[in-house]
Chains A and B, each alone.
Chain A
Amino acid sequence: MKRKKIFKFLLTVVLTAMVCLNLTGCGGKDSAKNENNVYVYSWGDYIDPKVLEMFEKETGIHVVLDEFDTNENMYPRVVEGAVHYDVICPSDYMIQKMINNKLLQPIDMEKLPNAKKYIGKDFFAQAESFDPGNYYAVPYCWGTVGIIYDKNVVTEPVDSWTILWDEKYKDKILMQDSARDALMIPLKIMGRSINETNEKYLEQARDMLIKQKPLVQAYVIDEAKDKLISGEASLGVIFSGEALMIMNANPNMNFVVPKEGTNFWIDGWVITKDAENVENAYKFIDFMCRPDIAVINFDYLGYSTPNTGVYELEQNEEFKNSPVAFPNPEVYKNQETYKYLGNEIDKNYNRLWMQVKVD
């Protein structure tokens, strides 16, 4: 252990030296310790920049925003603690992992009047599956994973994940490039849970994905949107928020949640255990829960919001009538949310997914 410490120390010295060299280059503003900051770490493009400006103007608190593109990229950076973030916006299972590893502090709901008033009870109830007692997370966005398809190409009714195994659509299918989202689909077809831990079923799911691979055009994350809008692909697995944006840009597209069931995901605001600006963090989260702010973010993002005040304020009639933008949460009551399955099973998921990809 001691050797490891020495190494960590050396690493820190070298990295700090590098960082210092960097900072002298860009000078003042960021390096000067500003007392009235809040350090936010969120998904890329997940907050309307306008909202941040409004927050700064109203409260005088400067938001230092960093962005991540996957939960897994975010986690090590928070653990290593190179930057002390105050507020983070991870997804369900990652919030649970962070709670388990004691990286978060409980949230005092009394300090968040807007969250208390406007965030729907249903969502807090669903969040209990990864945050029992709702001590740590305030839901920010939610949605499902479903199939998006081009109505001109896919003329048959779409209601099942099995269409992704149909030879007819060879080279037109997009899959999500992430272990859990990929394995979730065959697991659901088999009627298993999206949090399956039994090796036997996981291997069966892997074999189904290997069988599907010749039909798949590409495994993608963010590129899915472009490929579907441009018509490069005509059938794909997609998050509901992105689906709304795609349908907006390409009216031929339609989104369905397959009958076998899907992942009901929730991203939520959490405060880190060693946050240095806790009061500012509360102010920030509460600001994000204010309906007039939530509606700006909703229009910018397209992801469904747990904020009950948004529907009234929404101006866009098309969004208002869209079951994708404002789904009835009742419909999704029986859907599962990802849970953190522990390090071993996580690794197993990743290993099985890699086996699909190198096959």
Chain B
Amino acid sequence: MFRTVGIRNLFLAPFCIWAGIFIFVPLIFMLYYGLTTPEGEFTFGNILMIFQSEFFHSLEMSVLLALISTIVCLLLAYPLCLILVERAKSAGTIITLLFILPLWMNTLLSTMAWQTILESNGTLNQILRLLSLPDMTLINTSTAIVIGMVYNYLPYMVLPLYVALTKIDKSIIEAAKDLGANTWQTFYKVILPLSLPGAVSGITMVFIPALTTFAISALLGGGRILLIGNVIEQEFTFEYDWNLGAALSIVLMIFIVINMALTVFFENSHEEAEK
């Protein structure tokens, strides 16, 4: 027995080394920089900087835009997944594949493509002009950033939701209909609660990258909208204030941890309810 355990642990070693170098050590550095002054003395001052108006404002903006994109993703993904599940399996797979396809392309490239679409002389406005409709000013606004986020992160919402919905036993839905529930009631009382774990992990997977992004806001915001990710990037690369940059990242991580704690809490209570 001992030997097999030893061999098992050996297989774990690459992951442990990986996690150590690329997750654990960087986290310690971040905590260290975030909680010290440039002279190496302990302080909470960097973290409290988040309450300075310019940093707080950008954090508010990030949370707001991330929330909006998460909600939009959810509203788009639910009906889509419901349709997918009802389709024959092969058609469903093809449509899912189409949704994963953009993930194979670099985020930067697809976001730059959106730049060309949304520009004031861009594809969208040219189509509108062709139809004699008025131009839309989208580029360099928060709307453009939300569009970019939804486009990039929608697959992360679709996939867990799709999986959760396929897991639902068809006979349960049939039973609900048999017992007189209409379509809305079936959705509200049966499908929604059963697919909720998928939705929750989808929400986490969209909300967190949307909250922390700096590339999408830099490309589609034209420098007019500064999200917390852009502020952190600037602190590290431009202002060379690693302490402040790390501290702001810690603040952001608090949000992420809260989000994940909620997910875990929710999943646990859900499992218990199932029992």
Q: Which of A3-11, A36-44, A254-262 lies at the binding interface?
A: A3-11
With contact pairs A3-B40, A7-B32, A217-B140 given, residues A358 and B226 touching in the complex (Cβ less than 8 Å)? yes
Contacting chain A: which of B167-175, B199-207, B232-240, B266-274? Answer: B232-240
**Assuming the A-B contacts A70-B238, A72-B238, A76-B240, are A232 and B120 also in contact, with contact meaning beta carbons closer than 8 angstroms in the complex?**
yes
Q: Write out the residue numbers on chain A whose beta carbons fall within 8 Å of the beta carbon of B234.
A: 354
Please tell me if A351 contacts chain B, counting CB pairs below 8 Å: yes
Closest CB-CB distance, A308 to chain B, in whole Å?
Answer: 35
A219 within 8 A of B: yes
Interface residues of A in 3-28 (CB under 8 A from B): 3-4, 7, 10-11, 14, 17-18
Contact of B40 with A355 in the complex, beta carbons under 8 Å: no
Partner of A75, one of B57, B61, B240: B240
A-side contacts of B57, CB under 8 Å = 358-359
Q: Which of B36, B237, B238 has the most CB of A within 10 A?
A: B238
B238 and A218 contact, CB distance less than 8 A: no
Q: Chain A nearest CB: distance from B251 CB in Å?
A: 15
Q: Is A203 an interface residue (CB 8 A)?
A: no
Task: Select from chain B the residue with minimum beta-carbon distance to A213.
Answer: B224
Q: CB of A230 within 8 A of chain B?
A: yes
A175: nearest chain-B partner, CB-CB: B223
Cα distance, A177 to B238, chains bound together (Å): 12
| Complex CA–CA separation, A347 to B235 (angstroms) | 11
Interface membership of B121, Cβ < 8 A: yes
Query: CA of A355 to CA of B119 in the docked complex: distance in angstroms?
Result: 26
Cross-interface CB contact of A7 among B29, B54, B222, cutoff 8 Å? B29
CB <8 Å contact, B237 and A220 = no
B58 within 8 Å of A by Cβ? yes
A350 within 8 A of B: yes
Whether the Cβ atoms of A358 and B58 lie closer than 8 Å is yes
How far does the Cβ of A178 sit from chain B's closest Cβ, in whole Å? 9
Contact A354–B226 (Cβ < 8 Å): yes
Q: Does B132 contact A (CB under 8 A)?
A: no
A14 B25 Cβ-Cβ under 8 A: yes
A228 to chain B, nearest CB (A): 12
Q: Distance in Å from the Cβ of A340 to the closest Cβ of chain B?
A: 14
Whole-angstrom distance from the CB of A111 to the nearest CB of chain B?
Answer: 32
In the complex, A169 Cα to B234 Cα: how many Å? 29
Query: Please, which residues of chain A bring their CB within 8 A of the CB of B40?
Result: 1, 3-4, 7
Contacting pair A218 B119 (CB below 8 A) = no
- Is B231's beta carbon under 8 Å from chain A? yes
Give CA–CA (A14, B28) in the complex, Å: 13
- Number of contact residues on B: which range applies? 20 to 34
Q: Does B137 contact A (CB under 8 A)?
A: yes
Majority secondary structure of chain A interface residues (helix, strand, loop or mixed): helix
Q: Could you tell me if A17 and B137 are in contact, using CB atoms closer than 8 angstroms?
A: no
Question: CA separation between A165 and B118, bound complex, in Å?
Answer: 25
Q: Which residues of B contact A4 (CB under 8 A)?
A: 36, 39-40
Is the CB–CB distance between A72 and B237 below 8 Å? yes
Q: Say whether, besides A217-B140, A231-B121, A355 and B53 are in contact (CB < 8 Å).
A: yes
How close is B61's CB to chain A, nearest CB, in angstroms? 7
Interface size on A, residues (CB 8 A): 33
**B40 and chain A: residue at smallest CB distance:** A4
User: How many Å lie between the Cα of A358 and that of B57 in the bound state?
Assistant: 7
Chain B residues with CB under 8 A of A220: 222-223
Say whether B257 faces chain A, with CB atoms less than 8 Å apart.
Answer: no
Q: Chain A: which residue is nearest B242 at the CB level?
A: A76
Among residues of B, the one whose C-beta sits closest to the C-beta of A5 is B40
Chain B residues, CB < 8 A from A316: none
Closest to A218 in B: B222
Task: Report A-chain residues with C-beta under 8 Å of the C-beta of B48.
Answer: none
Q: Which B39-85 residues have a C-beta within 8 angstroms of A? A: 39-40, 53-54, 57-58, 61
A232, B119: Cβ atoms under 8 Å? yes
Tell whether B103 is near chain A: CB-to-CB under 8 Å.
no
B163 beta carbon closer than 8 Å to chain A: no
Type the 1/0 row for A327-359, where 1 means its CB is closer than 8 Å to any CB of B: 000000000000000000001001100110111
Residues of A within 8 A of B119 (CB): 232
A11 — which chain B residues lie within 8 A by C-beta?
A: 29
- Complex: how many Å from CA A239 to CA B61? 32
Q: Within 8 Å CB of A359, what residues of B? A: 57
**B224 neighbours in A (Cβ, 8 Å):** 213, 216, 218-219, 357
Cβ < 8 Å to B, chain A residues 209-249: 213, 216-220, 230-232
Type the 1/0 row for B128-164, where 1 means its CB is closer than 8 Å to any CB of A: 0000000001011000000000000000000000000
Q: Which chain B residue shows the least CB distance to A177?
A: B223
Q: Which residues in window 202-256 of B have CB below 8 A to A?
A: 222-226, 231, 234, 237-240
Whether B95 sits at the interface, judged by CB under 8 Å, is no
| A171: Cβ under 8 A from any B Cβ | yes
Q: When the two chains form the complex, which single residue of B120, B137, B226 contacts A357, counting CB atoms closer than 8 Å?
A: B226
Which 5 pairs across A and B sit closest by C-beta, in order of nearness?
A218-B222, A219-B223, A4-B40, A358-B57, A76-B240
Given contacts A3-B40, A14-B25, A72-B239, 7 further A-B contacts (CB under 8 A): A4-B40, A171-B137, A218-B139, A218-B222, A351-B54, A358-B57, A359-B57
- The contact sample of 28 A-B pairs, CB cut-off 8 A, is A10-B25, A18-B21, A72-B239, A73-B237, A171-B120, A171-B137, A213-B224, A217-B140, A218-B222, A218-B223, A219-B222, A220-B222, A220-B223, A231-B121, A232-B119, A232-B120, A232-B121, A347-B239, A350-B239, A354-B54, A354-B226, A354-B231, A354-B234, A355-B53, A357-B225, A358-B54, A358-B57, A358-B226
